[in-house]
Structure 1
Amino acid sequence: MSEFSEMLESYVTTKKVNKYQMAKYLSIDRSSLHKIIQGQRNAPSKDLVKRMGKYLELSPYETSELLELYSISLVSPERYYRRKNVYSFLSSFHAQPLKIEMPGFQKSDFQIQDKEVVPFSGTRQSLEYLIYHLVTKENENGKGMIKFLGTPQLPGFSNMFPLIKGKTVLRHILSFSKYDSILEIRDDHNFQSLSQIISLYAQFANRGVRYETAYYYGTDFSHSAFPPFPYMIVTSQYALSLSGDYQNGLLYKDSETVNYLNQTFDALYEKTTPLLVPIQDLTSQLALNQKIMSCKSDSEILFQLVPCLVPFIQKIDIRKYLLDDMAQKEYFISAFTTYIQNLIHRHEQIHPLHFCSLNGIRRFLEKGVFDEFSTDFYRPLDKVDRKKVVQQFLKYAYIYDLRLLREDLGELSNGLKVYLSDSLGYIQFMSSDGNVIVLTLENPNFLSSFKDYFESMDEDLYYPKEEALILIQKLLNQY
Structure 2
Amino acid sequence: MSDFSDLISVYKKRSGISAKELGEGTGIGSNIYKYVRGSRLPSEPGVVDLISDYMNMSNEDRHKLRDYWRIEHFGKERIALWKEIETMLQHFRITPDATESYMFEQRLPDSLLDHSISYIRGDLNVQQVLLAILTTADEGTIHAVVQPDDPHILECLSIAEKSANQSKIQNIIRMRQRGDHYADIMRKNLSILQNTLQLALGSDRYTSYYYYTDYVEQEKWPLTSSYIVTDSCAFLFGNGDTAMTGIFTKDPRFIADLNMHFDSLMKESRPMVIRPDSPSRIIEDFQSYYSIAEKTVPHSREIVIGTQPCLTPFLTNDICERYMCRDHTEIRPFVEQYLTYLTWWRKHIRNLTKDIVSIDGVRQFLATGRIHEIPEAYYTPFSKEDRLQIVRSWLASLSPDNVHFLKEDSCLVNSGLTLTSSPTFFIISLVRENSYHIFFSKEPSTTSCFWDYFSNLDDRIYMPFSEGKQRVQKIIEQFR
Residues 405 and 461, structure 1, Cα contact 8 Å, conserved in 2: no
Q: Are positions 1:123 and 2:120 aligned together?
A: yes
Q: Are positions 1:445 and 2:449 aligned together?
A: yes
2:234 alignment partner in structure 1: 240
1:67 alignment partner in structure 2: none
Q: Deviations over 1:29-59 (max 9, x none)?
A: xxxxxxxxxxxxxxxxxxxxxxxxxxxxxxx
1:44 alignment partner in structure 2: none
1:369 alignment partner in structure 2: 370
Match of 2:346 among 344, 347, 354: 344
Q: What is the Cα deviation at residue 374 of structure 1?
A: 1.6
- Secondary structure of 1:444's partner? helix
Residues 211 and 268, structure 2, Cα contact 8 Å, conserved in 1: no
| Cα distance change, pair 344–379 in 1 and its aligned pair in 2 (3 A) | same
| Cα distance change, pair 444–273 in 1 and its aligned pair in 2 (3 A) | farther
Q: Deviations over 1:326-385 (max 9, x none)?
A: 3355543442233112212333552x2223355433433342221112202221123343
Q: What is the Cα deviation at residue 158 of structure 1?
A: 4.6
Structure 1 Cα separation of the partners of residues 355 and 151 of structure 2: 39
1:62 alignment partner in structure 2: none
Q: Deviations over 1:255-299 (max 9, x none)?
A: xx9789757744541222344556687626634752444434522
- Secondary structure of 2:304's partner? strand
Q: What is the Cα deviation at residue 389 of structure 1?
A: 2.9
1:105 alignment partner in structure 2: 104
| 2:142 partner amino acid | I
Q: Are positions 1:301 and 2:296 aligned together?
A: no
Worse-superposed segment, 403-412 or 374-383: 403-412
| Cα distance change, pair 209–319 in 1 and its aligned pair in 2 (3 A) | farther
Match of 1:165 among 158, 161, 164: 161
| Cα distance change, pair 438–220 in 1 and its aligned pair in 2 (3 A) | same
Structure 1 Cα separation of the partners of residues 274 and 147 of structure 2: 18
Aligned pairs for 1:48-127 within 5 A = 104-105=103-104, 111-113=112-114, 119-124=116-121
Q: What is the Cα deviation at residue 209 of structure 1?
A: 5.8
Residues 370 and 382, structure 2, Cα contact 8 Å, conserved in 1: yes
Structure 2 Cα separation of the partners of residues 348 and 378 of structure 1: 22
| Cα distance change, pair 193–148 in 1 and its aligned pair in 2 (3 A) | farther
Structure 2 Cα separation of the partners of residues 176 and 333 of structure 1: 35
| Cα distance change, pair 451–408 in 1 and its aligned pair in 2 (3 A) | same
Aligned pairs for 1:298-447 within 5 A = 298-323=300-325, 326-327=328-329, 331-348=333-350, 350=352, 352-394=353-395, 396-397=397-398, 401-404=402-405, 407=408, 409-410=410-411, 414-427=415-428, 442=446, 444-447=448-451
Structure 2 Cα separation of the partners of residues 232 and 277 of structure 1: 24
Residues 276 and 437, structure 2, Cα contact 8 Å, conserved in 1: yes
Structure 2 Cα separation of the partners of residues 234 and 382 of structure 1: 52
Structure 2 Cα separation of the partners of residues 242 and 303 of structure 1: 35
| 1:273 partner amino acid | R
Q: What is the Cα deviation at residue 109 of structure 1?
A: 8.7
Residues 325 and 380, structure 2, Cα contact 8 Å, conserved in 1: yes
1:146 alignment partner in structure 2: 142
| 1:133 partner amino acid | A
2:286 alignment partner in structure 1: 286
- Secondary structure of 1:306's partner? coil
Residues 226 and 237, structure 2, Cα contact 8 Å, conserved in 1: yes
| 1:343 partner amino acid | W
Structure 2 Cα separation of the partners of residues 202 and 359 of structure 1: 21
| Cα distance change, pair 471–231 in 1 and its aligned pair in 2 (3 A) | closer
User: RMSD of the TM alignment (CA)?
Assistant: 4.9
| 1:372 partner amino acid | E
- Secondary structure of 1:134's partner? helix
Structure 2 Cα separation of the partners of residues 165 and 220 of structure 1: 32
1:463 alignment partner in structure 2: 466
Q: Are positions 1:135 and 2:134 aligned together?
A: yes
**When the two structures are aligned, how many residues end up with a matched partner?**
357
Q: Deviations over 1:60-107 (max 9, x none)?
A: xxxxxxxxxxxxxxxxxxxxxxxxxxxxxxxxxxxxxxxxxxx94277
Q: Determine what percentage of the aligned residue pairs are the same residue.
A: 17
**Unaligned stretches of 5+ residues in structure 2:** 1-101
1:37 alignment partner in structure 2: none
Residues 354 and 403, structure 1, Cα contact 8 Å, conserved in 2: yes
Structure 2 Cα separation of the partners of residues 333 and 157 of structure 1: 36
Residues 229 and 255, structure 2, Cα contact 8 Å, conserved in 1: yes
Residues 312 and 342, structure 2, Cα contact 8 Å, conserved in 1: yes
Structure 2 Cα separation of the partners of residues 416 and 155 of structure 1: 17
Q: Deviations over 1:131-152 (max 9, x none)?
A: 33321113x64xx542113555
Q: What is the Cα deviation at residue 461 of structure 1?
A: 4.0
| 1:475 partner amino acid | I
Q: Deviations over 1:427-472 (max 9, x none)?
A: 55665x5666655572533442233116x3566443268x55x954
Aligned pairs for 1:157-196 within 5 A = 157-158=153-154, 160-166=156-162, 168-175=167-174, 185=181, 192=188, 195-196=191-192
- Secondary structure of 1:123's partner? strand
Q: Deviations over 1:4-32 (max 9, x none)?
A: xxxxxxxxxxxxxxxxxxxxxxxxxxxxx
Structure 2 Cα separation of the partners of residues 305 and 377 of structure 1: 20
| 1:240 partner amino acid | A
| Cα distance change, pair 393–476 in 1 and its aligned pair in 2 (3 A) | farther
Instruction: Work out which structure has the larger RCO, using CA pairs closer than 8 Å and 6 or more positions apart in sequence.
Output: 1
- Secondary structure of 1:213's partner? strand
Taking structure 2 as the reference length, the TM-score comes to 0.57
**Unaligned stretches of 5+ residues in structure 1:** 1-102
